A and B are shown apart, each in its own frame.
Chain A
Amino acid sequence: MRDFVDNLTVFFCKEFKSFFQNKMIYVLLPIYLIISFAFTLYFSTFMTVANPAMQQFFLLQPKIFLIIVPALTMRLWVEEYKNNTWEILLSQPISLTAAVIGKFLAVWAITGVMLLSSCGLWIISAGFIGCDNIFVLANYLMTFLIIGIMCAVSAWAAALCFNYVGAFLLSWAFLAILFAVNFDNYINDVLMVFVDNFNAKTFSDFAEISTSLVSGEIKAAFVFYACAVMAAALWANVEAVEYKRSEK
């Protein structure tokens, strides 16, 4: 277990630093902040409605990270494939799972840094118009969780490609599927037939879950959903790298 954690830490640190070393963060961070603030001010009702928890800002975040996350994850495995470092990596006595989780955590942490850098809006809003600070903090955490799902799915998709463009597009497509696919109505229809007086529920509608998580009530079912999807995507990521190795 200790080795696993050590390996994971090494991968995390290496990957996290690489975002600074290859200057990617210095490009993506300003882009993220500009898009994020511009959309919040110009394309939402942020200015005109009472906003104790800055919901208009948080509701936009999953949509903005739909572009940012694939850009961050596209190089996670492609770089290893290109430089053939993954062959060396996998021949070492290290756990592939640790590598996958370490890389995923690094990307997730980078999105955390990005999200954290938007705190300026929170600070000035709290100073001038007043905020429900616990609610805002919870919204930051929940948005981070939602982005975590996106990072896991995107990292997995990126592991299936050998080039940057392919990895970006595939990651984006997977995230788009995650957003668009909604089987809730079908599941509800089936359950309504079998369960007496069943009331329609939200099961896997990602868009609705991401909205619900920043509405002031953190539902355990949705947190479980987020963790489960993240875990499944990470498992699929490990399998995808294994598959790629076997293919080679």
Chain B
Amino acid sequence: MLKWSEKLIMLMFIIGIVIVSVTAGVIGNLLFDAKGIDVTADRVYSLSEQTKEFLDKNTQNLFIRIYAAEDLAVKDVRWKIYLARIIKLAEDYEKEGHGKVKFSFVKIKPFADTQAEAEKAGIKEFLYPNGEKYAYFGMVLANENGKLITIPKFRFDDFNYIENLITRNLSQLTVNNNKNIAVISPFFDAVTKYTYFGMSGEWPFADRLRKSGYNLIALDNISGGINPNFDAVIVFYPLSLDSLTVYALDQYLMRGGKIIVLLDAFSENRFADEDEFEYISYVSGMDKFLENSGIRYSSNLVVGDNENNRDAVLDGRKIKYPLRVVVTKENLTSHKITENIKSLRLNHSGFFKYESKPDLDTKVLFTTSENSGVLPAEKISSIDYNTLFEHYKQTQQKYPLAVLVEGKFSSMFDAPIIDTPEIIAKNLPFLSVPLKEGKLLVVADSDMLGESLWNANHAKNHDIYGDVFVSDNLQLLLNALDYMTSADYVSVPLKQAAGYQENWQNLLQEKAEKKFAEAKNNYGKKLLSAQRKLSALNNEMKFAELSSVKRIKEIEQLQRDIERYKNNLEKINYDIEKEYNRLFLLFAVALIAVTPVLITLLLAGMFGLYNKKLLKKAREYGNE
């Protein structure tokens, strides 16, 4: 047992260490505040070069104000870390802003003036994770003229995106007027609302473009032509564009217009008539317009990439699906539009062929990898993996997926079209020779703007910030608009985006799937063939007056076969799971059992050798 004096001494020691640790923490904070070294590859904790460059050039007074509930940091350690991070970031802006950026931090107290002020600025309240009471945590950015941009609330998810958000918004505040973008979207209203399977809201990409400094105006009625004052025109999902729209686009381009066209080979082929095995082929209506600029679009073929792609679940199976193309950095051409882009995701994309035209500068912005192939577009709608790949042809060539053409375009028309409305003829007289240099960007897939291809948080938060980027699709469109409209907006590269990293589970799963891929395909094919035969026989039986015994036996046999194939497929799935478990166990055993033994033996060996050497030296001394 310890004596009283010993206990007292021990207690004093404990109190001493507690006092020292607290004092060290306080002094450390006083001396160094938030100073630190950022060791992440993406420099997550530091301002990027783009932000610094913007702050260097900025001549306006800008204000950053953070609003946070007074007890936010003490309620949850994650909020505490997050708030400290945002404050440090804002302080960095102030430090790098050459006196032009002012940062302030406002604590919101319940029922105080600060609460009313925050709410007036658009800061939104939210519940603490324990559901206890309402909290506030947002940011207001303002310029010297009182123009405000509010980030209504922060989320944990957008930790690595905050700098992008702040810099982009600050750069918007330095621009006098937002750019006006006309949107031609004949298939659905992409600009004002989002209606899809009973859900409604704003299309996420349109919402993000608006938040990034672009006014979107839907051009539903083209009878007045396209006003050359539009900073750019986006043609989204063009299906059966009429000749007047094409004429208006042509004349807009002749007047120095900037056009971004997002085409879709799959959509041009996907609309089925009553018999689901027949397809009506839609056309974009833009073929001649594009050909006039030296671009030919393959709307009948869909491109696949065997090297860079994403998984898909078909027939209840997870497979490597080449038609879900991923464009990686190696397949991007260096250009302002592809600057900061790390990866793009496309689904069932078409591709382009191009030839250079006089007075026009043509540049391919990104392609598939060399390990690519093509598939007739109408085959995709069969949604049947086996049939799909029967038609897939490996061609081993790179397919251009986006082409930028710049320069003086020549008109595809020799004269105004016959039914030119009077208003166009009067205000925008026909030009056969260009007035100014124009820009045309064509992208082979319009699906790439679908939120699920760029935001892991999709469908969760359409009305607030909090995107978790899995690709740079949206950034590509923003870069393209910034480039086309010569806007002074600044975009910062995405940092540590979730979709760019592989994990161990996927890697082992992929290896396990690979082992059984052939057997799985075989049974898949057999099952499909049997199901088709059964369906045909059943149809036949419906119209037959008498059912023959032979037919009934055939049907029974097919049903038995189908059951057998299904069982076999289930068994294969079970085997894949077993294989995954085996691989995981192998990995775990190698790591948990083998590595420790090997390292211990290695250490023992090294120490043994050292001892031997020491002994030898001692003997030598002894002999001497």
Interface residues of A (CB under 8 A from B): 20, 25-26, 29-30, 33-34, 37-38, 41-42, 46-53, 113, 117, 120-121, 125, 128-130, 132, 134-135, 137-138, 153, 156, 160, 174, 177-178, 181, 183-185, 187-189, 192, 197, 199-204, 206, 208-209, 212, 216-225, 228-229, 232-233, 236, 240, 243, 247
Q: Can you name 23 A-B pairs with beta carbons within 8 Å? A: A26-B604, A34-B593, A37-B588, A37-B591, A38-B588, A41-B587, A153-B17, A183-B22, A199-B73, A199-B107, A200-B80, A204-B22, A204-B24, A212-B81, A217-B40, A219-B35, A220-B37, A221-B29, A221-B34, A224-B32, A228-B24, A229-B21, A232-B24
Which residues on A sit within 8 Å (CB–CB) of B23?
228
Q: Once the chains are docked, how many angstroms separate the CA of A8 from the CA of B56? A: 52
Q: Determine if B615 is an interface residue (Cβ-Cβ < 8 Å).
A: no
- In-complex Cβ contact of B507 among A26, A42, A129, A228 (8 A): A129
Which residues on B sit within 8 Å (CB–CB) of A49?
503
15 more A-B residue pairs beyond the given contacts A128-B507, A236-B16, with a C-beta to C-beta distance below 8 A: A37-B596, A41-B588, A48-B503, A125-B504, A135-B40, A177-B18, A185-B74, A188-B74, A197-B106, A197-B107, A202-B80, A204-B26, A221-B34, A225-B24, A243-B9
Contact B600 A229 (CB under 8 A): no
Q: Once the chains are docked, how many angstroms separate the CA of A113 from the CA of B505? A: 29
Q: Determine if B126 is an interface residue (Cβ-Cβ < 8 Å).
A: no
Contact B41 A135 (CB under 8 A): yes
Contact B22 A220 (CB under 8 A): no
Contact B41 A52 (CB under 8 A): yes
- In-complex Cβ contact of B503 among A47, A219, A222, A224 (8 A): A47
Q: Once the chains are docked, how many angstroms separate the CA of A243 from the CA of B7? A: 13
- Are A129 and B28 also in contact (CB < 8 A) when A160-B13, A199-B105, A218-B36 are? no
Which residues on B sit within 8 Å (CB–CB) of A160?
10, 13
Q: Once the chains are docked, how many angstroms separate the CA of A238 from the CA of B6? A: 16
Q: How far is the CB of B465 from chain A (nearest CB, A)?
A: 21
Q: Once the chains are docked, how many angstroms separate the CA of A208 from the CA of B78? A: 10
Contact B27 A228 (CB under 8 A): yes
Contact B17 A232 (CB under 8 A): yes
Which residues on A sit within 8 Å (CB–CB) of B414?
none
Q: Determine if B84 is an interface residue (Cβ-Cβ < 8 Å).
A: yes
Which residues on A sit within 8 Å (CB–CB) of B25?
184, 202-204, 209, 221, 225
Which residues on A sit within 8 Å (CB–CB) of B34?
219, 221
Q: Once the chains are docked, how many angstroms separate the CA of A113 from the CA of B599? A: 10
Q: Once the chains are docked, how many angstroms separate the CA of A202 from the CA of B597? A: 40
Contact B36 A217 (CB under 8 A): yes
Which residues on B sit within 8 Å (CB–CB) of A47?
503-505, 584
Contact B32 A220 (CB under 8 A): yes
Interface residues on B, range: 35 or more
For residues 566 through 622 of chain B, which have their beta carbon under 8 Å from a beta carbon of chain A? 584, 587-588, 591-593, 595-597, 599-600, 603-604, 607
Which residues on B sit within 8 Å (CB–CB) of A221?
25, 28-29, 31-35
Q: Determine if B14 is an interface residue (Cβ-Cβ < 8 Å).
A: yes
Q: Determine if B502 is an interface residue (Cβ-Cβ < 8 Å).
A: yes
Q: Once the chains are docked, how many angstroms separate the CA of A53 from the CA of B587? A: 19
Contact A120 B591 (CB under 8 A): yes
Contact A201 B507 (CB under 8 A): no
Which residues on A sit within 8 Å (CB–CB) of B83?
199-200
Which residues on A sit within 8 Å (CB–CB) of B77?
208
Q: Determine if B217 is an interface residue (Cβ-Cβ < 8 Å).
A: no
Which residues on B sit within 8 Å (CB–CB) of A202?
25, 29, 80, 84
Interface residues of B (CB under 8 A from A): 6, 9-10, 13-14, 16-18, 20-29, 31-41, 44-45, 68, 70, 73-74, 77, 80-81, 83-84, 87, 105-107, 496, 498, 500-505, 507, 584, 587-588, 591-593, 595-597, 599-600, 603-604, 607
Which of B10, B29, B500 neighbours the largest number of chain A CB atoms within 10 Å of its CB?
B29
- In-complex Cβ contact of B28 among A37, A113, A197, A228 (8 A): A228
Q: How far is the CB of A135 from chain B (nearest CB, A)?
A: 5
Q: Once the chains are docked, how many angstroms separate the CA of A225 from the CA of B32? A: 11
Contact A33 B507 (CB under 8 A): no
Contact B603 A26 (CB under 8 A): yes
Q: 5 tightest A-B contacts by CB? A: A50-B501, A203-B25, A200-B73, A228-B24, A204-B25
Contact A46 B39 (CB under 8 A): no
Which residues on A sit within 8 Å (CB–CB) of B597?
30
- Are A203 and B22 also in contact (CB < 8 A) when A33-B595, A49-B503, A218-B37 are? yes
Q: How far is the CB of B17 from chain A (nearest CB, A)?
A: 6
Contact A178 B35 (CB under 8 A): no
Q: Once the chains are docked, how many angstroms separate the CA of A146 from the CA of B584? A: 31
Which residues on B sit within 8 Å (CB–CB) of A137?
39
Q: How far is the CB of B111 from chain A (nearest CB, A)?
A: 18
Which residues on A sit within 8 Å (CB–CB) of B14?
174, 177
Q: Once the chains are docked, how many angstroms separate the CA of A135 from the CA of B45? A: 12
Identity of the chain B residue whose Cβ is nearest the Cβ of A149 in the assembled complex = B21
Q: How far is the CB of B71 from chain A (nearest CB, A)?
A: 9
Contact B599 A117 (CB under 8 A): yes
- In-complex Cβ contact of A120 among B39, B45, B73, B595 (8 A): B595
Q: Once the chains are docked, how many angstroms separate the CA of A241 from the CA of B205? A: 68
Contact B36 A225 (CB under 8 A): no
Q: Once the chains are docked, how many angstroms separate the CA of A77 from the CA of B504? A: 44
Q: How far is the CB of A182 from chain B (nearest CB, A)?
A: 10
Which residues on B sit within 8 Å (CB–CB) of A185?
74
Q: How far is the CB of B70 from chain A (nearest CB, A)?
A: 8
Contact A26 B105 (CB under 8 A): no
Q: Once the chains are docked, how many angstroms separate the CA of A238 from the CA of B26? A: 25
Q: How far is the CB of A213 from chain B (nearest CB, A)?
A: 10
Identity of the chain A residue whose Cβ is nearest the Cβ of B13 in the assembled complex = A236
Contact B17 A229 (CB under 8 A): yes
Q: Once the chains are docked, how many angstroms separate the CA of A184 from the CA of B81? A: 13
- Are A201 and B29 also in contact (CB < 8 A) when A117-B599, A187-B22, A219-B36 are? yes
Which residues on A sit within 8 Å (CB–CB) of B38?
216-217
Which residues on B sit within 8 Å (CB–CB) of A132?
40-41
Which of B22, B87, B500 neighbours the largest number of chain A CB atoms within 10 Å of its CB?
B22
Which residues on B sit within 8 Å (CB–CB) of A208?
77, 81
Q: How far is the CB of B342 from chain A (nearest CB, A)?
A: 13
Contact A229 B24 (CB under 8 A): yes
Contact A37 B35 (CB under 8 A): no
Contact A216 B44 (CB under 8 A): yes
Which residues on A sit within 8 Å (CB–CB) of B593?
34
- Are A216 and B40 also in contact (CB < 8 A) when A117-B599, A129-B504, A183-B22 are? yes
Contact B599 A225 (CB under 8 A): no
Contact B28 A25 (CB under 8 A): no
Q: How far is the CB of B582 from chain A (nearest CB, A)?
A: 15
Which residues on B sit within 8 Å (CB–CB) of A199?
68, 73, 83-84, 87, 105, 107
Contact A225 B501 (CB under 8 A): no
Which residues on A sit within 8 Å (CB–CB) of B40?
53, 132, 135, 216-217
Q: Once the chains are docked, how many angstroms separate the CA of A218 from the CA of B500? A: 24
Contact A224 B27 (CB under 8 A): yes
- In-complex Cβ contact of B502 among A130, A178, A206, A222 (8 A): A130
Q: Once the chains are docked, how many angstroms separate the CA of A47 from the CA of B580? A: 12
Q: How far is the CB of B512 from chain A (nearest CB, A)?
A: 14
Which residues on A sit within 8 Å (CB–CB) of B84?
199, 201-202
Q: How far is the CB of B469 from chain A (nearest CB, A)?
A: 13
Which residues on A sit within 8 Å (CB–CB) of B20?
228-229, 232-233
- Are A233 and B17 also in contact (CB < 8 A) when A117-B599, A197-B105 are? yes
Contact A34 B592 (CB under 8 A): yes
Which residues on B sit within 8 Å (CB–CB) of A121?
591
